[in-house]
Structure 1
Amino acid sequence: MLKININNITETEKVGYILGKLLTGGEVICMTGDLGAGKTTMTQSIAKGLDVDDYVTSPTFTIINEYQGRCPLYHFDVYRINDVDEMYDLGYEEYFYSDGVSIIEWADIIKEILPKERLNIEINKKDNIDNREIIIYGNGEKYINIIKLLSEKI
């Protein structure tokens, strides 16, 4: 597990960018945190690290946006789904078990269908408007290694 105290948005962007550079495809990243905690900012920065040129927006109403970079990026925002059956209708397994990177905002809403092996990112607001605590933990050797590399680079 890696805990990072963030003092401003630039530091959040740096963590996301470095993480994006470490990803090779086939990863699932599950994000949790309050509204406005920085999940989309983190996703945008991971996308930059994956060499995605497009502007990344939260797919609040479409549930998923797809981007091309070094590998495909599948950005899910499941805040508005009412039932995990909606994820089955989207064919989520094709994304989660592909050679792309799947990032799921509000992942706790669909926890029963998440892969066992994954990278979890929890973003918590602190006292100051810009301060955050980012907690990153992995399930599976691949993700534990990513966290180790990330901790060496930040």
Structure 2
Amino acid sequence: MPERVEIVPYDAAWPAHFREIAARLKTLLGDRVLDIQHIGSTSIPGMAAKPLIDIDVIMPAAADVIDACPLMEAAGYEPRGNRYDADIFAFMKRTPTRRQRVYLCPEGHATHHRRIQFRDYLRTHPQAAAEYQALKLKLAEAFEYDGDGYTAAKAAFVNDVVARARKR
């Protein structure tokens, strides 16, 4: 059965959850980790979001990403493949108190850079953040059990924000 697209009010505990997860990932993956970034709506203060912490883990090269995949699986992360871009592998972990989606990314990857541009723009442009939140709430209703449709329906807005961010 498809999972429900659920948007919940902002939780002030999300940044702390990210820090806890990031520390565990750093221990798990070791020196291959160059950076760990909180991405997605839970990384934007005040933003309603899916109750899911999204994380990009930056590694030196695509080979490091591939080498890290078995470590993620052994630690209980469900492999989700590279659905969005070559060289980026996604993993999901569900616990009783929180869910997390981790993307292993090679350094310099354009997708990671776009995610950071989007996040940072919304953090510094409250009107754009409010528009995005309203869109997410509307789309969560329209695509209640269609996560891929929900994500696809946000693409034009996301692309527009990234384009604005690049002009800054």
For the pair shown, the structure with the greater C-alpha radius of gyration is 2
After TM superposition, the score normalised by the length of structure 2 is 0.26
Q: Whose relative contact order is higher, 1 or 2, with alpha carbons under 8 Å and at least 6 apart?
A: 1
Higher helix share: 2
TM-score (norm 1): 0.27
